[in-house]
């Protein structure tokens, strides 16, 4: 990691322990003129807002549900936040306390993301603290958190993590949704039925159940419909297993005009959005620039040795996370 990006974890067991970390972090940032962003649960936002009093008006607050629900979203949102605000900070540093939604306590995707942050945010001057509520964290989460954070905040003091592993050694993969495979892609040329059939043929043998495969097909179908609505009727499509997930990548050489809407407010937008895809999939990443548009989505792969139909299905639009 280059100097400038600072990545710390904090394990807390009570509201008091959360505040013992968050309040000094925010207060010091405000004293130094550094922009401070806090994205955490509604309960923790309320606690911090009450304790900070009038100073809270100088802090940017965002509920986790509305700020980077997916790892790639969060990393990109943090980089954009730094880019917008670094010029207003005398030190060039922005402070972020980020406690994202770690679905159901099963933080496999977020453990990979924490390692990715060490790479993706290097070169920035972001001071990032990632709180973990041990009252709700799933088994193994605490151990993995120690491996992906170079430093920890303990009782108000910063300590080096002896268990930290550099990104190259963090599980062998830095991202939950690796880049597309080298195999020949399926060529989508406007036939929605054909591309969904191709995806299901490739994904069904890898996913946890028939229901999961059906949901995956729905998610891919919406992603294709999104491209069609934006005038894109040609795309390359890859489906492959990666990092314990089944990943589908759609890439067009043409960019999409305007933002890709997905998240809590997307359902209110006119036209086709990626709201359903975002709800169904564990991972969703969208990029569009002069090089074209890429949509990448993923669901959990069936465990090795499990028979088709075993394991929990993926989550539906209103259902629980896949775990």
Q: What is the dihedral of CA 313, 319, 321, 323, to 10 degrees?
A: -40
Q: Are 63 and 3 in contact (CB under 8 A)?
A: no
pLDDT for position 33: 94
Give the DSSP letter string of 20-53: HHHHHHHHHHHHTT--EEEEE-HHHHHHHHHHHG
CATH of domain 6-169: 3.40.50.300
pLDDT for 73-83, tens place per residue? Answer: 677 778 888 88
Write down the pLDDT at residue 311: 39
Report the distance separating Cα 275 and Cα 268, nearest Å: 10
The reply to whether domains 6-169 and 186-300 share a CATH topology is no
Six token digits for residue 280: 């169904």
H helix or E strand, kind and range, residue 219? helix 210-229
The mean of the pLDDT values for the chain is 76
Beta-strand ranges (E) seen in the chain are: 6-12, 36-40, 60-63, 94-98, 126-133, 151-154, 157-160, 186-188, 235-242, 245-252, 283-289, 292-300
Give residue limits of the domains in the chain.
6-169, 186-300
Which is more confidently placed, 112 or 153?
153
d(CA 104, CA 110): 12
Q: Which residue do the tokens 């539906």 mark? A: 316
pLDDT score recorded for residue 312 = 36
Per-residue pLDDT reduced to its tens digit, 195-235: 888 888 888 888 878 888 889 989 999 999 888 888 888 89
Higher model confidence: residue 47 or residue 134?
Answer: 47
| Topology at the third CATH level for domain 186-300 | Heat Shock Protein 90 (3.30.565)
Q: Which two tokens stand for residue 59?
A: 């802090």
**For residues 91 and 14, what is the distance between their CA atoms, to the nearest angstrom?**
32
What are the structure tokens assigned to 96, written together?
A: 């972020």
CA 211 to chain centre: 24
């Amino acid at each position: 990691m280059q100097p400038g990006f600072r990545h710390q974890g904090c394990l807390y067991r009570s509201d008091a322990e959360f505040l013992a970390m968050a309040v000094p972090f925010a207060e010091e940032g405000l004293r130094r003129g550094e922009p401070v962003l806090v994205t955490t649960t509604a309960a923790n936002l309320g606690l911090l807002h009450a304790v900070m009093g009038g100073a809270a008006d100088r802090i940017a607050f965002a509920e986790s549900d509305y700020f980077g629900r997916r790892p790639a979203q969060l990393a990109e949102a943090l980089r954009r936040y730094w880019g917008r605000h670094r010029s207003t900070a005398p030190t060039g540093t922005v402070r972020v306390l980020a406690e994202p939604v770690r679905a159901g306590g099963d933080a496999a995707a977020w453990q990979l993301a924490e390692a990715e942050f060490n790479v993706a945010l290097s070169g920035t001057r972001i001071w990032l603290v990632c709180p973990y509520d041990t009252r709700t964290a799933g088994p193994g989460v605490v151990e993995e958190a120690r491996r992906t954070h170079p430093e920890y905040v303990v009782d108000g003091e910063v300590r080096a993590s002896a268990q930290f592993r550099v990104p190259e050694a963090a599980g062998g993969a830095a991202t939950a949704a690796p880049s597309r495979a080298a195999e020949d892609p399926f060529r989508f040329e406007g036939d929605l039925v054909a591309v969904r059939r191709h995806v299901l043929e490739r994904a069904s043998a890898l996913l946890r159940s028939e229901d999961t495969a059906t949901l995956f097909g729905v998610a891919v179908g919406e992603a294709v419909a999104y491209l069609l609505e934006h005038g894109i009727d040609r795309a390359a499509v890859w489906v492959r297993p990666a990092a314990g997930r089944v990943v589908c990548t759609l890439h067009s050489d043409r960019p999409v005009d305007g933002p890709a809407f997905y998240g809590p407010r997307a359902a209110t937008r006119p036209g086709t959005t990626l709201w359903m895809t975002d709800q169904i999939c564990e991972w969703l990443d969208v990029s569009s620039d002069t090089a074209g548009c890429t949509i990448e989505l993923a669901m959990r792969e069936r465990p090795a040795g499990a028979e088709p139909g075993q394991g929990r299905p993926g989550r539906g639009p209103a259902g629980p996370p896949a775990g």
